[in-house]
Amino acid sequence: MTKFYELLDRIQKKPGMYIGSRSISNLFMFLCGYQHARDLLAIPVTEEEEEFSEFQPWLQKRFALKSSASWAKIILFYSTDESHAFETFFDLLEEFIKRKYPLDKVENDNSAVLICD
Tell me the pLDDT band of 59, cut-offs 50, 70 and 90.
Answer: very high
- Beta-carbon contacts of 101 under 8 Å, excluding residues fewer than 6 positions away, are 109
Average pLDDT over residues 5-30: 97
Where are the chain's structural domains?
4-108
Is the model's pLDDT at 115 over the cut of 60?
A: no
Count CB-CB contacts under 10 A for residue 98.
13
